Amino acid sequence: MSEQQTSFTSFSEFYPYYLKEHSHPACRALHYTGTSLALLIWIYALWTGQYLLLLAGLVVGYGFAWTGHFFFEHNRPATFQYPLYSFMGDWVMLKDFLSGRFRDSYPG
C-alpha cells in the first residue's frame, strides 16, 4: 500500500500523487479502457436519450479502474478520498497516454 497525503490544495499538486498510484502499466491500461468505454456509453446515452445509461458509464469506468487497483496496484483507489481530483486525473492521464507520454501502458 502506498502512503496517502491528507490534503491537496490544487489539481496540479494532486496529479503527481495520482500518477504514483497508477504506476503499473496494467492498471493504467484498465483505466484507459474504462474511461474510453464510459465516454462511448455517455455519448450513446445522450444521443439516444437513454439517460439511465449515464450511470452505467460510471459503473463501467470505475469497474475497470478499480480492478486495476485491486489486482495490480494493490492500493486503495484515490476516488475514495479525492473523488473530483481523481475523476479529473483519469481524463488527464488518458490525454497523456494518447499524446504519447505513457507508451508502456499496455502490458505484454
Tens digits of residue pLDDT in 36-93: 999 999 999 999 999 999 999 999 999 999 999 999 999 999 899 999 999 999 999 9
**Is it the case that residue 1 has pLDDT exceeding 50?**
no
**Is it the case that residue 30 has pLDDT exceeding 90?**
yes
Question: Burial of 21 by CB count in 10 Å (0-12 exposed, 13-18 middle, 19+ buried)?
Answer: buried
Where in the chain are the domains?
A: 25-98
**Is it the case that residue 5 has pLDDT exceeding 70?**
no
- According to the model, what pLDDT value does residue 107 have? 44
| Close Cβ partners of 54 (under 8 Å, ≥ 6 residues apart) | 41, 42, 45, 46
Question: Burial of 108 by CB count in 10 Å (0-12 exposed, 13-18 middle, 19+ buried)?
Answer: exposed
